Amino acid sequence: MADWASLQTDIVGLIIKKLAIPDYLRFRAVCTSWNCVCSDASYHPRVDPWLMLPANPAEGAKFLCVPERKNQIIRLPSTVSLFGSVWTPVGSSHGWVIYFSQTHGTMQLVNPISGTQIQLPPLGYRSVSKAILLEMNERNFIVAVISGDRKGYKVTRKGYNSWSSVESKHSLEDIIKHRGRLYTCDVYGTVEVWSEPPLAWPDEEITHQWRLRCLMETPSGDLIRVKRQGQNKFAVWILDKGTSSWVETENIGDLALFVSHYNSVCFPAKDHPNLKANCIYFIDIYNNLCAFNLEHGTKELVETLAIGRAHNDYYHRPQRDQLLWFIPSLK
């Protein structure tokens, strides 16, 4: 019988780099020697984009690993209904999911991989459009919340026991922290940087105010703006740092964009042969996961989703807009 525990460290390290995070967690539990190799910071498991699907909280959180086309079920006891309170995911970033209880107007951060949870201060209202984890590190975290029926947003950070309110001219669609400054996109497509002096870029094309618009940052630090122009059509702009102007592009290189109302993610596709570069992943009107090719302007079916009953949504958005993307993290 083979002595797997005696495998050379470099071989074990190569195996680790091929493993998705759930398989990595099982792998490190096999024996002490493998766990020791996993503790070496130079060996990291593969990170994949996941789509969080509607599920019964009592059964666990349900995710679709996009490259593998495989579902993952993770039990999260802290999000199970307690005393009539239903926890609804309203955002995700940095490996965390933000849950909101409409019953009590409370919110918490949950890391589905580590099981860690952080209770946030009482919010003070019962309708939330979305929540954004602007920053997460060992020293600090910052959470912003766009309410369901008010302009502006609220923000809190680690160690605070309340929320600060910030007003805006119009209702907001998205918020991102980019190069130390906050950028917002309102329901009419205007992007604004909250700095002195303030700077704003109105949308040159008047479109339906509830059409998907989102902001995201590339791994190299560029700011991207995405707008859904039709059921199966998207446009992308990149902020030119030199001229402070938005430049439309049909080529984002080896990047793939994953968009939804609750959050959007920019992800390198080069290390994932099953991901399509220069594409935007989205949910179409038939609840299918699809990829829109920016260069050719075409849509391709990726996966037919078996989506159950949707959770409550203040704006009564279609079910496809109530899903969110998740990038698992061990931190």
Contact 189, 203 (CB under 8 A): yes
Mean of all residue pLDDT scores within the chain: 85
Q: Which residues contact 306 (CB under 8 A, 6 or more apart)?
A: none
Predicted confidence (pLDDT) at residue 311 exceeds the cutoff of 70? no
308-315-120 Cα angle (round to 5): 85
Residue 208: the pLDDT is: 58
Cα separation, 223 vs 213, whole angstroms? 14
pLDDT score, position 169? 87
Mean pLDDT to the nearest integer, 241-269: 94
Which pLDDT tens digit goes with each residue over 166-187? 988 888 999 999 999 999 999 8
Tell me what pLDDT residue 312 has. 45
Smallest CA-to-CA distance from 99 within 108, 51, 265, 78 is with 108
116 CB contacts (<8 Å, ≥6 apart)? 110
Give the residue from 316, 318, 287 showing the smallest Cα distance to 304: 287
Longest distance between any two alpha carbons in the chain, whole Å: 70
In degrees, to the nearest 5, what angle opens at C-alpha 96 toward C-alphas 282 and 305? Answer: 30
pLDDT tens, position by position, 41-81:
667 778 899 999 887 666 778 899 999 888 888 887 666 55
The pLDDT assigned to 2 comes to: 55
- Calculate what percentage of the chain has a pLDDT beyond 90: 48
pTM of the model: 0.89
Q: How many residues does the chain have?
A: 331
Return the amino acid letter for 183.
Y
Encode pLDDT of 79-115 as tens digits.
655 444 578 899 999 999 999 988 888 899 999 998 8
